[in-house]
Chain A
């Protein structure tokens, strides 16, 4: 079955710097790759996602890139702010007409120091 590896497990940056989190997946049939942010004690919240027919997507300070050949995708956060501190999870899914389960990475704890 699908397996998703996520690195690094922890990341500490200074406010204003960029942060990059990388994930690899095993199943080449995966076609949907969301990123979730989870603050302590709260539910995961979708921050950005990308489909397999797209190589890059941006939303203000957040961008995701996908390399289907290498089966990896990355989250890029620019101009980081203290409120970006949280655990970030990548996921991969094979989404069809009946939906699709998400297979998650182990998470990256991002700490943005003021």
Chain B
């Protein structure tokens, strides 16, 4: 089936503008994660959603960053009043619920292609 998709693939914006990034997880995946990857660096965790539980927002770098998720589908990451240091690739990942007696979530996170954000 289709993998994780993200849009737009590239976004160029001016400092101070707001941007919205979209993620469509793999169908049926209950957990959705957002990460940020600055040029030449590792991935930084931002936020994750799992079902009806409160999202884990512990990685959001400031109150300019927020994210929403509609049920177990699309998520949007919003960055308000963008700054040049927000320039990065924003990656979304999803994981499924394990079947069987153990329940819980599969550990494997599948990544989308990312949105490259450039703040001028």
Contact = CB atoms under 8 A, between A and B. Distances in A.
A43 B112 contact: yes
A49 B108 CA distance: 9
Interface in B72-102: 91, 95
Interface string B91-120: 100010000000111011111111000000
B105 A104 contact: no
Interface residues of B, number: 28
A105 B113 contact: no
List the 4 closest A-B pairs by CB distance, nearest first: A99-B31, A104-B42, A97-B104, A99-B105
A69 B111 CA distance: 31
A107 to B, nearest CB: 5
B107 A97 contact: no
A21 B36 CA distance: 23
Interface stretch (B16-24, B45-53, B62-70): B45-53
Contacts, number: 69
B107 A101 contact: no
A100 B107 contact: yes
B14 interface: no
A43 B35 CA distance: 12
Interface of A: 1, 6, 32, 34, 36, 42-46, 49, 51, 89, 91, 93, 95-107
Interface of B: 31, 33, 35, 41-45, 48, 50-51, 53, 56, 58-59, 91, 95, 103-105, 107-114
A101 B33 CA distance: 7
Nearest to A93: B107
Contact of B45 (A44, A45, A49, A101): A101
Given A43-B112, A98-B53, A106 B91 contact: no
Contacts of B35: 102, 104
Q: Which of B48, B91, B109 has the most CB of A within 10 A?
A: B109
